Structure formats: C-alpha cells, structure tokens
Structure 1
C-alpha cells in the first residue's frame, strides 16, 4: 500500500480521508517574532488555540491537512509536532522556499551565484537541502517532508523565483515527491510554471497550481487542467478582492465542464498568521478551517455539484497526488 509521510510518521494513502490540500498551522516572520515576542504572546496559549481549531476540523470529518509552510513562511517543526500529538489529524508538511522575488540572502553567494566568478557550473545547495528534508527529516526532528513548495506571484518569473522553481524540480526528480506552487492566476503565472517545469521534465500531474481559484477565467483554468495540472481551489474565505460566490461559482463551472478530477479544495487558513493586521482579520469572517464544510459544500451541492465530484476533490485527488 502506498504511504505518505506525516508529522507523526508514514500513513497509508488510503487513510488520508477527506483532505484539505493547502492549510497552514502557523504563518510567521521569525525575525519579528524573535525580536518582538509580545506579538506572539504565550507559546502554550498559541499551541492550545491551534489544537482547538484543528479539533474543529476533526469534528466536520476532515482527516488530513497538507501544510505548505516552508522557508520564508516561518516553518518550525517541533511546534507542529507538539500540536500533532494532541489531535487526531494527519498533518503533512513540505520543504522548499517561498519568495516572490529574490532568493534569501543565505543563497546569494552560494551555488549558481558563483558560476560567473568560478567559470564553472556550481550545484545549487537548495536541492540537497530539500532532498535532505524529504529523505532524512527536517532539522533533526525525524519528520520528513512529503512534498515540495515554491511560489510565483504578480512579479512574475524573476531570477530568484526561477532559481527556486528549478531547484524544486530537481529535488522532485531525485525524490519523486509532488509539488505545490503558489501562483497568481490573474497574471497567468501558471503558464510560467508550465514552461519552466516543462524544461525540467516535470510531469504536470505531479503539480498543484495553488490559488487557481483566485481566477474566474474558466477558459484559462481549463487550459491548465488540460495540460495535466491539478488546480488548487484553495483560498475559500479570503474575500477582500473577490466574493464567496465568485470562488464557488468557478468550481461549479469547472465541475460542469468535467474537471472535478483536476481540482482540490482548501482555504489557505491558519491558526495564527502575523502577516495581517488583526483589524483586517476581523473582516474575514469566513476565513477559517471549517468554512468549506459549513458553507462552501452546501453551496456547491445546491448548484449541481454531485457527491461523487465532492468526494473526488476532497478524497480521491489528494490521494492520487501523493501516490504518484
């Protein structure tokens, strides 16, 4: 039976059950948190709050969350281990690097940055780092990453973004684990992913194009689905620049077109994110872990999405993604 790595060890993919494919436990800026700890407050309280929110997910039938928190998003696995021990939920973690522009300063004068000076091609240390997280475990915790994560946003394919993307592709080839990419469908950055990963020989079926649901352009999304990509309809509840109905209606339309097998669902929520002012967070009343089950799924059903299609998006597609 195929298995997938979780925070508490490998589980059979058949045991993943209902899976939300893009949720964070915490999204943090570690430099700020370390130097201004009053923002974070009590570690015990943050952990207890996270446990409570994840137990709400258990109560609505979710069995697994896939957490793409990597370098650049405040990944700290010992804290996630502590939480995982207290919930009956699989937490699947990632390796990779999150940037919209340049690589972190750590990488500026390592690897390919030295090619010109040395007159030779220098391997990118990111690749070995990512592979180590997958094969050996993260930071001595024994917790192994089960997928890779990178990003491309409105800034497009900058040199730094492309470097990370190619490092992710090469780590994918060495390990076989799948990939999730944060994309900006308004700028059609999925097409950049398609070109770069195509050059690197990555099978699109192993790739989730995250945040595809930010777009209502069903023709563009159909083009990406036809190319083989999995579409992450994964920001339900973030309705500052769009609406609940717009996010849900594009899923309805894609299901009508026969693309349920090419979509996964999620909310990109977190127990705590320090990127957003609490006053703004208060406006996002639907941005929570249980929004899909409490509000999105009833809407989809009312608009013609079948139980089989819902099962495909929540259970079958995540399982297939990790079995490749």
Structure 2
C-alpha cells in the first residue's frame, strides 16, 4: 500500500503521477517575523485546491509533495487541501540542506553533548511509520540533497539517516542533485554503500542536463532519473528537456524516467510574481497541456508516456520489504 494524506491506497489506484512537486514552500522563521506580502493565508488553500482540481481534469491522479523539513513543511496546513482536492497527495520526509543543519543537531546525537540516538533517524522513521507532526499523515517518500557544497558532514548525516529509514521501511529515496557537477554519481555511491538498492533511488533534477552519457550511467546502475523540472525554462528550455527525454526513449530507457515540474502553488523562494514574469510555464499543468503534446509530436508513444507517468511512479512509491543479502 502507498501512504497518502487520506490514507493508504493500492499502487494501481495512483494513476498518472507527478513525482516531484510542492504545494507550499516557506521559511518558518521568516514567515513568522516577516510574512511575505504575496502569501495570502485566507485564500491559499482554495488556490491549491483549484490547481489540483485542474490537474484532475487534465488526467493527473496523484501528486507527491516533496516539501520536507528545511522547506517549511506544514502538513496540518495541507490536510484541508488534501481533503478537498480530487487527487491523491503524498507527503514526504527528509531534511533539505545542501550544507549545514540547524544548531539543534550539533548537540543532539551519538557522542554529542546531549548523547543519544540520531534524532534524524527517529524523525524520519516516525514520519513514515506513525505520522507527521501529530497527524495521521504518513510519509511515502524520503528526500535528500547534495549540491555545490558536496557531501558535507551534515549532508552525510542526513543521507545516512535516510538510508537507514529506507532500509527499515522500504520507502524510496529521491534526491536533489546538480547534474552540471554529475553529483548523482556521488549520491548513488554513498547510498549504495549504506545498503540502499539503487532501483529504490530517484536521482532528481536530472532533466537539467543534456549529457546523455551521464544520464545513461545513472540509469544503467539501476536508478530512475527525475526529469522533473519542466517549466523551469530559466534553467533549461522545455524544448531541450523534451529532446533529452526523446533521445533516451529512443535508447530504450522508458522504464527508468519519471516526469514532473518541481513547481509550487506558493514558494517564498520564487514567489508568484517572479514566476509569472520569468517562468510562466512553471505550473502543475505544464506537463499535460504543453510537454506531453511536445513529446508525442517528437515521436514518443502513448505506451512510453504511460510507463513514465503511471507505471514507473507506482513501482517506486510501493514500499519494498527489507532486502537481505
């Protein structure tokens, strides 16, 4: 069974799935002390429900929200969205940092001032097995990050905790990667060394590169690649992202790609006014309305699209039992 905001569902009920999205991205301390002028709490839920309802009308049935700790995750705020929206919404756990963790983690953990188990492992397992922040919502995905800073001491700690949680629960891991640095390879090596099967790892943001050799190495090692930033044309135009997917389809990799946007209903990092001016297609509906027609026009088949949007997400999101050597 796959955990969603409204409870567990069978994998075959997920349907067409966007595997890397966000509903609300915030910054709790800033939001508390300096609220963003474009954040409208009285209408935010309604706007999110409208956006997700539009997705349902376009054939999408499931959205994975990868807003984890470090990005202002507030599951209680999303519960009314999930109750009203006619799609499955899946929550995630993990910690979003490319460098250092908050000071709490420097004093809490094995051998530290407040000695004891690593709280990250406890947090991740609690989110997956019991529920997030006092709710009954259980996480269905783990998320980790490496970027220009590399695998720092704190990033390694997050990734190790995610590896432990993935092994104990069977929940998959998705990553934030920087393809220009080819650091998906570092992520694979780190996670594999800690016992995570690479077929349970999605190397995220892989669509930011056109380096087919690099992408094939990732997939040949067993991972799925996230072609998950359609609409982020300030990074790479959609036409070039589509061309990369088509090239990999011709090489037989339909079973190892998933599609998404990394979009949000509201993000403090890139607020609505900025997105409207600089990335107007960076919206949940970009795939069904623009990208899928572009893929079909370029030679992708309906079966290949079904594989990338339905079959692959269902396979990944279905928890696997712990593997033994």
Q: Which runs of 5+ in 1 are unaligned?
A: none
Q: Distance in 1 between matches of 2:110 and 2:210?
A: 38
Q: Does the 8 A contact of 2:109 with 2:118 survive in 1?
A: yes
* 1:269-320 deviation digits (Å, cap 9, x = unpaired): 1100011255531211110011011111111111111111000000000011
Task: Using the TM superposition, name which of 190-199 and 37-46 deviates more.
Answer: 37-46
Alignment size in residue pairs: 318
- Which of 262, 287, 311 is equivalent to 1:316? 311
Aligned to 2:143: 149
Q: Partner of 2:218: helix, strand, or coil?
A: helix
- Which of 284, 303, 307 is equivalent to 2:302? 307
Aligned to 1:186: 180
* 1:80-119 deviation digits (Å, cap 9, x = unpaired): 10111111110001111000101222211111462xx79x
Q: Partner of 2:17: helix, strand, or coil?
A: strand
Query: In the alignment, is residue 93 of structure 1 matched against residue 87 of structure 2?
Result: no
Q: Distance in 1 between matches of 2:118 and 2:135?
A: 24
Q: Does the 8 A contact of 1:153 with 1:183 survive in 2?
A: yes
Q: Distance in 2 between matches of 1:315 and 1:215?
A: 23
Aligned to 2:76: 78
Q: Does the 8 A contact of 1:33 with 1:40 survive in 2?
A: no
- Cα 1:223–1:141 change in 2 (3 A) is same
Q: Distance in 2 between matches of 1:277 and 1:25?
A: 12
Q: Partner of 2:61: helix, strand, or coil?
A: strand
Q: Partner of 1:62: helix, strand, or coil?
A: coil
| Aligned-pair CA distance for 1:172 | 0.9
| Aligned-pair CA distance for 1:139 | 1.1
Q: Does the 8 A contact of 1:207 with 1:230 survive in 2?
A: yes
Q: Distance in 2 between matches of 1:66 and 1:41?
A: 22
Query: In the alignment, is residue 132 of structure 1 matched against residue 130 of structure 2?
Result: no
Q: Does the 8 A contact of 1:94 with 1:146 survive in 2?
A: yes
Q: Which runs of 5+ in 2 are unaligned?
A: 321-325
| Aligned-pair CA distance for 1:123 | 3.4
Query: In the alignment, is residue 288 of structure 1 matched against residue 283 of structure 2?
Result: yes
TM-score (norm 2): 0.94
| Aligned-pair CA distance for 1:228 | 0.3
| Aligned-pair CA distance for 1:39 | 2.6
- Which of 103, 106, 119 is equivalent to 2:104? 106
Q: Distance in 2 between matches of 1:159 and 1:255?
A: 37
Aligned to 1:23: 21
Q: Distance in 1 between matches of 2:28 and 2:169?
A: 28
* 1:132-188 deviation digits (Å, cap 9, x = unpaired): 111110111111111111111122111111111111001111111111111111111
Q: Partner of 2:234: helix, strand, or coil?
A: coil
Q: Partner of 1:319: helix, strand, or coil?
A: helix
Q: Distance in 2 between matches of 1:184 and 1:265?
A: 17
- Cα 1:40–1:140 change in 2 (3 A) is farther
Q: Distance in 1 between matches of 2:87 and 2:160?
A: 32
TM-score (norm 1): 0.95
1:202-281 residue pairs with structure 2 within 5 A? 202-281=196-275
Task: Using the TM superposition, name which of 28-37 and 307-316 deviates more.
Answer: 28-37
Q: Distance in 2 between matches of 1:244 and 1:98?
A: 26
Q: Distance in 2 between matches of 1:112 and 1:249?
A: 48
Aligned to 1:167: 161
Q: Distance in 2 between matches of 1:271 and 1:127?
A: 30
* 1:212-233 deviation digits (Å, cap 9, x = unpaired): 1001001100000000001000
